[in-house]
Structure 1
Amino acid sequence: MIRKIKFMLFVILGIAITSCEEDFLETRPTDAISAADALANEENMQLVLNGVHRGLYSQSQTIFPGGNTQRANNHYWVPLGDNLAGELIHSANANNLGWRTEMQWNSHTDQTSLTCELLWYHRYNIILHANLLINKATDGSLTESPGLFEILGQAYTYRAYAYLSLVQHYARGYLIGNPSSDPGVPLLFSSESPFTSEPRSTVQEIYDQIETDLNAAIAAFENGSGRPSGGPETKSQLNINTAYGLLARMALSKGDWQTAADAAVEARQGFPLMGEEDWLAGFNTNSLSEVIWGSNVIDAETTFFRSYFYLASNTFNGSQIRNNPKIADRRLVDAIPDTDYRKQVFLPDAPNSNSSAANGEGGWENNTNPLYTTEEEFNAAIDSIKSVYGLVSGHNTHPYMHFKLKQKNPGSIDPDDVIYMRSSEMYLIEAEAKAMMGDIAGAQEALRPLGEARDSAFDVTVFNTQQSMMDQIKFQRRVELWGEGFGYTDKIRWDEGIDHAADGGSGASEVLYQEAYQVERPSLNDDWIFKIPQAEIDANPKLTQADQN
């Protein structure tokens, strides 16, 4: 962190200002921009903040030295949660980006892997720039104003977001460990060179800092100017709802049920649940009514074959998808009632057209689906799927493939927005928190709006015990948030392992998944914890090999 972070500052400042403020360059060459100039006033501070927004989805090497073209930050980190948890299932071998290596649990368990290194440095990159903005905004040199409070609120929220991500990946889960003594991650407050780190703080200390920052963010936003009005691009700006949403996530992960429930209610205010047409439209834009926060990915800087949709959407025109359509756990899909329109995005009866499918059942000669009695019917079904969903000739199909995530322009490599937070999640957080408090009636009322919006026959009253309610909440989370990256943290919070073989099987191939086909629950298996980058241990005098997870 020490070696790289001191350079990252100037890269972000240069990017933020050169991309947003042409006049500034008339008097300041790019290589002469100083932190003092960048933080001189609200306008320039907003440019720094815009650089952080952009850094959420840009290829990492464009944002800081030491990055790599194979990772485009949250394009990779968001779907990684479901890739690791066995929710986003691979149907065949495919190349590129280590996505199969992640799925097989051979990446986050390796301290020299790109994933361990780049997730760490990206989150600390966010923390550094949040520190810059917080320290400047609170040192008394600038006149307090609604605009300054808005910047401060976003900076506090970003710092909390980054620390929550770090502690949930590089430390033992709060509810399954001993947070007062379990090692967390280093706390960094400095915004001055040489940006020296501290030793690992405890998990509890990190959570305390996250809560402090989110409460400070909410207070700042209450005095701020508010998120600007406009299109989907405005939702890249964090706001008070985002802060409440992160507070709800944090509190849920540590078992602070009342805070989680209360914050979730606040987070979803003003973001009504979307209807069937929007839910089935592909989750490719922040303009959906219930999107609280997301990156508006601009066409001018697309990530192409490094994008979220390249990794997870079956409409993307890339080899990762064409050769390896992503499928859902058939046990989950089969359990969705026919009266629930979300079932429409999964195709249990899609023909297996891939001769290289991991289950060895690809092609007409291996067909076992009684729906297709002739090769002509088999091929006609494939052609129909391609026509309906805009696939190109090279796309394979596979039973239980999904079309939840669909591009605006299917069959292309066009960029689409990356959604981070929706109001649906907040209903589910409130319901889970109340169920865990034993408030079954409260949990029923929290879950009712979402369940009834999605399933015309939904009856929440049948879930009248804590166990049945929690089972239903888990089911609803897996369906509603499928593909949005929550599987990893959910399984850690619930202390659940991965078993692709149980109850008739998920549809995953044991040959392809190898050791990740069955994974013991997190409380008994420290492989759920990401390795600290070896490069960080080598560069940081406050960390030693004894600090390795």
Structure 2
Amino acid sequence: MLKKIKLLLIGVFFISIVSCDDDFLDTAPTDAISATDALATAENMSLILNGLHRGLYSQLQTILPGGSSIRAGNHYWVPLGDNIAGGVIHTARANNLSWQNETQWISHTQETSTTVELLWYHRYNIIASSNSIINKATDGSLTEDDRLREIIAQAYTYRAYAYLSLIQHYAKGYLIGNPSTDPGVPLLFSSDAPFTSAPRSTVQEIYDQIELDLNDAIDYFENATPRPSGNAADKSQLNINVAYGLLARMALSTGDWETAADAAVKAREGFPLMNEDDWKSGFNTVLLPEVIWGSNVITTETTFFRSYFYLIGNTFNGSQVRNNPKIIDKRLYNQIPETDYRRDLFLANAPNSNNSAANGEGGFGNDPNYTNEEEFDNKIEEIQNTYGSTSAHNTHPYMHFKLRQQNSGTIDPDDIIYMRTAEMYLIEAEAKAMMDDIEGAQAALDALGITRDSAYDASIYNSKESLMDHIKFQRGVELFGEGFLYTDKIRWDEGIDHAANGGSGASAVLYQDGFKQDKPSINDDWIFKIPQAEIDANPNLTPSDQN
């Protein structure tokens, strides 16, 4: 299929094993490890899974032949969804890692960009490695016990996760297109050279495969060794809750509202909502009680200036955020009630300390909110002391401190959260609203809302329209910075307009094409380009397959 996948699978087992288990290396030299050895037992297969867990956040040159060191997996891919869609807003020039190119709609619309190439190959790496486990573990040559079933279930879940990521980026949205005929992505089932794929399957065929994989995963998980608990590393492992959560996301994307609601309820079982102290603690550890799945980032992993918090948090000691503090859309902020504690982590009146701020209001004398220089300076110092940023960090009105490091002001990488309970309540609420189950949607919203807002009352949203408007608000605030806005806008068929309704706070000069984009149903620029290298290497793809 893919030149890089062919090369990758020669070494994927080596990479996975040497990354994760020294004991294996004691009995099998690194130059003697083969695919046969790696797939010989359930425990050896678990090492491949551990390689996938770590591969979610490693710098991609350690996973992909030719992979760039300027992408560290989901450190980049997760916040990308809010960066492209304009949910987390840049305030000044700072294009490290091409992060500002993403806001300007440059990278994902170019078939030779690092972003479209590495996201494609990273996800197919996951698929190919998952295939190797599934194909061997289900061929009848190994005794199926609880441990093997757990391995198989994780592999099916990983494959579904990767296909869902691919289809949501490289194809037209299910609800805004014609899924039975719209081109999707290639299906790959092989685990032996030459790893030949099918041509592009339809969007419907890919979603059908995702659903099959998740249902198979759930069946295996039900009779498998349970995921351990108590340590951060445990939440890197996939379990039945993760499979149900992905099923909920998939069903929401396809308008299968009943499945979305039911799966969301099952996904959150055993993961209670966070309290105020937890919500305000920085979203930097998978040990938070409502985190269902996330990467426990090993501190020795050299992500540092490639990390999630470098790109999107305002306390990381790197130039991307020191020079360019990230802010919330002020139209969204202005909807947050005074009684909602989440409002506290978005600082509407922070001084604009950057003389090069894109809005032209940086530095004392230009900031319209301050006429007293001592007050201006004192407020900056207060913010630094409260949140742990350094004297080199700029401040800006509407800057956020929702996402911040455990060791603020350092370059330490932190965990990446992929799935949590609040999202599942919001999926349930949206699905029930779309089914005209007003009371059901209100109940799901109440369960979440009363933990965030002391005056919350969902009963005032008593129609599908008002419920959906409120759900969009809740997703914007609750999931801010967690990467969901890109797929949300495609599902809702909403464009981007940073100038509308008083403006978001973004600069048209800075944002360029990303400042305004038509809705996805009439604008194919929402669809990522297929890497040109893939079209050149894959005999089943031609230039006519390009998005």
Tell me which interval the TM-score lies in, with the shorter structure as reference length.
over 0.9
Residue 516 of structure 1 and its aligned partner are, at CA, apart by: 1.2
The answer to whether the 8 Å contact 1:354/1:362 transfers is yes
Give the TM-score taking structure 2 as reference length: 0.99
Q: SS where residue 223 of structure 1 aligns?
A: coil
The answer to whether the 8 Å contact 1:264/1:430 transfers is yes
1:112-511 aligned at under 5 Å gives the runs 112-369=112-369, 372-511=370-509
Q: Which moved more, 1:307-316 or 1:441-450?
A: 441-450
From 520, 529, 532, the counterpart of 2:530: 532
Residue 6 of structure 1 and its aligned partner are, at CA, apart by: 1.9
Aligned residue for 2:63?
Answer: 63
Query: In the alignment, residue 405 of structure 1 is paired with which amino acid?
Result: L
Query: In the alignment, residue 520 of structure 1 is paired with which amino acid?
Result: D
The answer to whether the 8 Å contact 1:95/1:319 transfers is no
Structure 1 residues without counterparts, runs of 5 or longer: none
The answer to whether the 8 Å contact 1:187/1:197 transfers is yes
1:89-108 aligned at under 5 Å gives the runs 89-108=89-108
Deviations 1:472-508 (A, max 9, x none): 1111011100100000000000000001001110000
Residue 29 of structure 1 and its aligned partner are, at CA, apart by: 2.6
The answer to whether the 8 Å contact 1:499/1:517 transfers is yes
Deviations 1:69-110 (A, max 9, x none): 110010000000000010110000003100000000000000
Question: For 2:448 and 2:26, how far apart are their aligned partners in 1?
Answer: 53
Query: In the alignment, residue 430 of structure 1 is paired with which amino acid?
Result: E
Question: For 1:25 and 1:231, how far apart are their aligned partners in 2?
Answer: 25
The answer to whether the 8 Å contact 2:126/2:158 transfers is yes
Question: For 1:182 and 1:110, how far apart are their aligned partners in 2?
Answer: 20
Question: For 1:23 and 1:155, how far apart are their aligned partners in 2?
Answer: 23
Query: In the alignment, residue 301 of structure 1 is paired with which amino acid?
Result: E
Q: SS where residue 71 of structure 2 aligns?
A: coil
The answer to whether the 8 Å contact 1:10/1:33 transfers is no
Question: For 1:258 and 1:148, how far apart are their aligned partners in 2?
Answer: 31
Q: SS where residue 151 of structure 1 aligns?
A: helix
Question: For 1:360 and 1:202, how far apart are their aligned partners in 2?
Answer: 47
Deviations 1:375-427 (A, max 9, x none): 11111111111111111111000000000001000000001000000010000
Q: Which moved more, 1:315-324 or 1:18-27?
A: 18-27
The answer to whether the 8 Å contact 2:95/2:101 transfers is no
Query: In the alignment, residue 92 of structure 2 is paired with which amino acid?
Result: A
The answer to whether the 8 Å contact 2:430/2:441 transfers is yes
Q: SS where residue 300 of structure 2 aligns?
A: helix
Query: In the alignment, residue 389 of structure 1 is paired with which amino acid?
Result: Y
With over 3 angstroms needed to count, the CA separation of the structure-2 counterparts of 1:27 and 1:277, relative to structure 1, is closer
Deviations 1:417-471 (A, max 9, x none): 0000001000000000000001101111111110111111011110001100111
Matched, 1:541 2:539: yes
Residue 31 of structure 1 and its aligned partner are, at CA, apart by: 2.5
Residue 16 of structure 1 and its aligned partner are, at CA, apart by: 2.2
Residue 152 of structure 1 and its aligned partner are, at CA, apart by: 0.5
Give RMSD over aligned pairs.
0.9
Residue 63 of structure 1 and its aligned partner are, at CA, apart by: 1.2
Question: For 2:2 and 2:35, how far apart are their aligned partners in 1?
Answer: 18
Q: SS where residue 489 of structure 2 aligns?
A: helix
Give the TM-score taking structure 1 as reference length: 0.99
Q: SS where residue 450 of structure 1 aligns?
A: helix
Structure 2 residues without counterparts, runs of 5 or longer: none
Residue 150 of structure 1 and its aligned partner are, at CA, apart by: 0.4
Query: In the alignment, residue 145 of structure 1 is paired with which amino acid?
Result: D
Aligned residue for 1:512?
Answer: 510
Residue 228 of structure 1 and its aligned partner are, at CA, apart by: 1.4
Deviations 1:117-152 (A, max 9, x none): 000000000000100010111000100110000001
The answer to whether the 8 Å contact 2:20/2:51 transfers is no
Q: SS where residue 293 of structure 2 aligns?
A: strand
Question: For 2:238 and 2:209, how far apart are their aligned partners in 1?
Answer: 19
Query: In the alignment, residue 227 of structure 2 is paired with which amino acid?
Result: R
Question: For 1:25 and 1:44, how far apart are their aligned partners in 2?
Answer: 11
Residue 300 of structure 1 and its aligned partner are, at CA, apart by: 1.6
Q: Which moved more, 1:487-496 or 1:194-203?
A: 194-203
Q: Which moved more, 1:196-205 or 1:22-31?
A: 22-31
Question: For 1:19 and 1:104, how far apart are their aligned partners in 2?
Answer: 36
Q: SS where residue 420 of structure 1 aligns?
A: strand
Number of paired residues?
547
Question: For 1:71 and 1:441, how far apart are their aligned partners in 2?
Answer: 44
Query: In the alignment, residue 153 of structure 2 is paired with which amino acid?
Result: G
Aligned residue for 2:521?
Answer: 523
Residue 8 of structure 1 and its aligned partner are, at CA, apart by: 1.2
Residue 22 of structure 1 and its aligned partner are, at CA, apart by: 2.6
Question: For 1:44 and 1:513, how far apart are their aligned partners in 2?
Answer: 48
Question: For 2:29 and 2:327, how far apart are their aligned partners in 1?
Answer: 50
The answer to whether the 8 Å contact 1:11/1:64 transfers is no
The answer to whether the 8 Å contact 2:365/2:371 transfers is no
The answer to whether the 8 Å contact 1:56/1:74 transfers is yes
The answer to whether the 8 Å contact 2:313/2:326 transfers is yes
Question: For 2:21 and 2:248, how far apart are their aligned partners in 1?
Answer: 36
Q: Which moved more, 1:382-391 or 1:315-324?
A: 382-391
Q: SS where residue 470 of structure 1 aligns?
A: helix
Query: In the alignment, residue 531 of structure 1 is paired with which amino acid?
Result: K
Residue 10 of structure 1 and its aligned partner are, at CA, apart by: 3.6
Q: Which moved more, 1:117-126 or 1:225-234?
A: 225-234
Deviations 1:5-39 (A, max 9, x none): 12212433112222333343344332321110000
The answer to whether the 8 Å contact 1:325/1:397 transfers is yes
The answer to whether the 8 Å contact 1:282/1:403 transfers is yes
Question: For 2:39 and 2:325, how far apart are their aligned partners in 1?
Answer: 47
Query: In the alignment, residue 168 of structure 1 is paired with which amino acid?
Result: Q
The answer to whether the 8 Å contact 1:302/1:414 transfers is no
Q: Which moved more, 1:191-200 or 1:23-32?
A: 23-32
Q: Which moved more, 1:479-488 or 1:222-231?
A: 222-231
Question: For 2:311 and 2:343, how far apart are their aligned partners in 1?
Answer: 21
The answer to whether the 8 Å contact 1:12/1:52 transfers is no
Question: For 1:382 and 1:348, how far apart are their aligned partners in 2?
Answer: 13
Query: In the alignment, residue 105 of structure 1 is paired with which amino acid?
Result: W
The answer to whether the 8 Å contact 1:264/1:426 transfers is yes
